[in-house]
Structure 1
């Protein structure tokens, strides 16, 4: 089977592909990863895949439409002859021609709300692929599953497989608490993640509790706006914008709680990473967060600074609650370990390979 993605960037979809490919049981499946855009990045995501013994092929499409790149992709798929093509993000559209002309099914993991996943022309292509049964959507949460079925008017319920996390990478680190109570947030700095709400909620906490810090890990288009706000409101001694870091797990190990203030989500990998680190969670109730934050954190409605601040203060004030949530996070996350999720995907590959053969 072929796993196809657009590029090896820093997003959740790319991390998911790396974890999946690096945990496939190669005695059960022959696999290769195809990257449509660009050349090797020599980053950690690629290295994990290659070290596991799964090859990566690069199509080198570049920006804009390229019929030559599509031809190279079709040639690579024809050379490999997969029984199933497993696509991610916009890679689904580029694989559509080959899948339609071969006796093969496409499994497409829907990483986000379907209204935001693809631009309109690509949504039209995928709607046609779903209707004719050549593509099968795989949702990463119950909400994404329901939204995908409704958005594309599907008669059958999409498959459901949660995102994977390498539990041992986060659970094995020794917990080293900082002097001040520490919240940590991880995510790209853009509107959907709504870190400005998080900053304003944290600002309320600082009004009478100065023994508290917030670390924000990530980069993006709202970086300058956030930095300006911190300076103007004299928050730089308690809110630290660290940018993109390689050692996210170390920051999680040194935190007391994880916070996520998104407007919408699919199923954020960072929530699972925080759970593997044994952290209690405070998050907006969006996307698939409610699927994994059950008895191990507090969920609040999106867009409310006051309610988010209240939940953060509740977590900070109640040590017994934090201890309970921490133990439950460590227990609950085990079902999302990469090795288990890889087995679930192998079961889907086998299921849809058998369907086309019969």
Structure 2
């Protein structure tokens, strides 16, 4: 069987890293894999560039023609869409060429159609999508509440490449680094991160680091200046080696307004950097207790500060959380487990 794996564009993001890691690892004697996406900074991570087809970021008609040519040329049996837009392309393609293509849709985030046109969204998935992969039980439950047929949905958690995100025992040192690694966009809520930094700026040992790029760069920079945080908060820009950024931090923070199941949480747990995160989406399925990290239920900067300070002052606590979190990820969230489960969906195996 021939499989076409598609995503919008290869920019830095959770869904895009998922796409690249899946492309790198997919290998099965019964399957041949092809890929298509808009180009971006992650293109270099694509391993089989001979099977890659670039897509436009804006010309939908051109993309449909490109995908149609790809599907016919390689006799594609399965299209694996990693965004709603790609799923819509696949549905249109199936109707155009009148071929029984299986459509697999991995749902990485909350879509505008899902929020504003819920009955239409449910009808679309029930009628046209063969299989829906959710990356958390939380998201699976949301789809069931929408009326999606239970038989269409399966949860396959994001997986971490444990050979890349190796466990790193922190050495005792001067200074304490608190980091956030996320696209600089409104939903990531960097304002809360800066509020935490402002409350802790009188502790000379704590420094804050922002990794990532995005449309909020100027606004965040201005807030750092206006709030008098230039000596306490440092913007790193694009992070090409996330594992090293995460290992450098003593604590990794998530402040997002919404998340489905962020890979960065698992990456932090894998390398041994304690997580302090908002309790949103499926994050609680990774951090199931305070033995593995801390969840803040109410976006309280004070609660974040309390957890950060307790971790700073208690090395034994940090080491215990780090060790248990690594073991938990190894057991439940490996990349190999994610890939093998995905291939079973392609092959209709259980």
- Give TM-score scaled by structure 1 length: 0.87
Specify the alignment match of 2:176 in structure 1: 181
Specify the alignment match of 2:241 in structure 1: 247
Q: Which runs of 5+ in 1 are unaligned?
A: none
Which of 96, 99, 114 is matched with 1:102 structurally?
99
| Structural mapping, 1:1-358, within 5 Å | 1-35=3-37, 37=38, 40-41=39-40, 43=41, 45-50=42-47, 55-58=51-54, 60-66=55-61, 68-89=62-83, 90-100=85-95, 101-113=98-110, 115-116=111-112, 126-132=121-127, 134-151=129-146, 153-156=147-150, 158-171=153-166, 175=170, 179-207=174-202, 209-294=203-288, 295-334=291-330, 335-351=332-348
RMSD: 2.5
| Alpha-carbon displacement from aligned partner over 1:58-85 (angstroms, at most 9, x marks no partner) | 2x3342442x431221121122223321
- The CA deviation at 1:31 is 0.9
- The CA deviation at 1:15 is 0.6
Distance in 1, matches of 2:215 and 2:238, equals 13
Distance in 2, matches of 1:328 and 1:193, equals 27
Structure 1 range deviating more: 319-328 or 303-312: 303-312
- CA change 1:107–1:147 in 2 (3 A) is same
Distance in 2, matches of 1:154 and 1:105, equals 17
Structure showing greater relative contact order (alpha-carbon pairs closer than 8 Å, 6 or more residues apart): 1
Contact 1:267 1:288 in 2 (8 A): yes
Distance in 2, matches of 1:125 and 1:280, equals 41
Distance in 2, matches of 1:184 and 1:103, equals 48
- The CA deviation at 1:175 is 4.9
Distance in 2, matches of 1:96 and 1:270, equals 31
Secondary structure at the counterpart of residue 349 of structure 1: helix
Distance in 1, matches of 2:89 and 2:128, equals 17
- List 4+ stretches of structure 1 deviating above 6 A: none
| Alpha-carbon displacement from aligned partner over 1:131-162 (angstroms, at most 9, x marks no partner) | 225332211011111112223x2131621011
Distance in 1, matches of 2:168 and 2:299, equals 34
- The CA deviation at 1:166 is 1.4
Secondary structure at the counterpart of residue 79 of structure 2: strand
Distance in 1, matches of 2:70 and 2:89, equals 12
- The CA deviation at 1:287 is 1.0
- CA change 1:134–1:188 in 2 (3 A) is closer
Secondary structure at the counterpart of residue 180 of structure 2: strand
Distance in 1, matches of 2:170 and 2:113, equals 37
Distance in 2, matches of 1:178 and 1:232, equals 30
Contact 1:104 1:134 in 2 (8 A): no
Query: Number of matched residues?
Result: 341
- The CA deviation at 1:125 is 6.7
Secondary structure at the counterpart of residue 31 of structure 1: strand
Distance in 2, matches of 1:160 and 1:124, equals 22
- CA change 1:173–1:282 in 2 (3 A) is closer
| Alpha-carbon displacement from aligned partner over 1:245-298 (angstroms, at most 9, x marks no partner) | 212222222211111111110111111111121111100001111111123100
- The CA deviation at 1:9 is 1.1
Distance in 1, matches of 2:168 and 2:15, equals 25
